[in-house]
Amino acid sequence: MQPGILRMFRGDAAQHYPIKCATWGFAHDYRYSIPVLCFSIETEPQDSIFPEEDGWSHKPSWRLDVWARALGPEVLRPGCQFRIPNCHDEFTGVIFTAFYYDEHEGTTHNVITVRHFTDDILDLSIEGYIRHEFASMRPTRIKVDARFTRLSPHGVIDTVYNREPLPPHEPPYGATVCQIDASS
């Protein structure tokens, strides 16, 4: 079964990429006082339909990290939204989002919405934008609707998660806003 679809919109053109793999999990690094909720999306390769790309083949991938206090499986209920306004924290250098197409691009105004959660499966809707003036592509809206599978914790990988060291009990400046009240 196909996990979902990643859509890219530029002007009036849209490209749809079947998702090969969509995973999620919590990183619990002893260097941080808060867990990091991580999402990863890998797509199938496809030739581009965007005219400026001359039919080049692409295999987009997207990584999003949610930094917020009180994160745990209990907040992952239908209607819960996580917002990642920027792609990185300029003060600490921590990267929150990375979209790979031709090059790595940061995405902004990201909204992750939980549609359904059972056992280790999360049905999510994710939307973000590439609008940086120095981006390798013209402004692009990215939309994902997919079923994410939880990654099993791995001792070595989970403790060495390639994150910048931060002072204890301090998330990156401008950390993700987590709306955990799904009723609003």
- Residue 164's pLDDT is 41
Residue spans of beta strands (DSSP E) within the chain: 4-10, 13-27, 36-43, 46-47, 57-58, 61-67, 81-84, 97-100, 104-105, 108-118, 121-130, 140-150, 177-179
pLDDT in tens, 115-133: 999 988 999 999 999 988 8
The 3 state secondary structure assigned to 15-34 is EEEEEEEEEEEEECCCCCCC
- Residue 1's pLDDT is 58
Question: Can you tell me the distance from the alpha carbon of 110 to that of 126, in angstroms, rounded to the nearest whole number?
Answer: 7
Local structure of residue 156 (DSSP, 8 states): H
Q: Mean pLDDT, to the nearest integer, of 157-161?
A: 39
Measuring CA to CA, which residue among 58, 51, 50, 24 is closest to residue 38? 24
Is the Cβ–Cβ distance between 110 and 84 less than 8 Å? yes
Local structure of residue 101 (DSSP, 8 states): S
User: pLDDT confidence of 152, banded at 50, 70, 90?
Assistant: low
Cβ atoms within 10 Å, residue 7: 14
Domain range summary for the chain, segments of one domain joined by +: 4-179
User: pLDDT confidence of 31, banded at 50, 70, 90?
Assistant: low
- Residue 132's pLDDT is 82
User: Does pLDDT of 62 surpass 50?
Assistant: yes
| 0.85 exceeded by pTM | no
User: Does pLDDT of 137 surpass 70?
Assistant: yes
**Residue 97 structure tokens:** 């989002």
C-alpha distances in Å from residue 149, one per residue of 15, 25, 40, 121: 24, 8, 10, 5
Is the Cβ–Cβ distance between 85 and 108 less than 8 Å? yes
User: Does pLDDT of 34 surpass 70?
Assistant: yes
**Residue 74 structure tokens:** 């209990």
- Residue 32's pLDDT is 65
User: pLDDT confidence of 165, banded at 50, 70, 90?
Assistant: very low
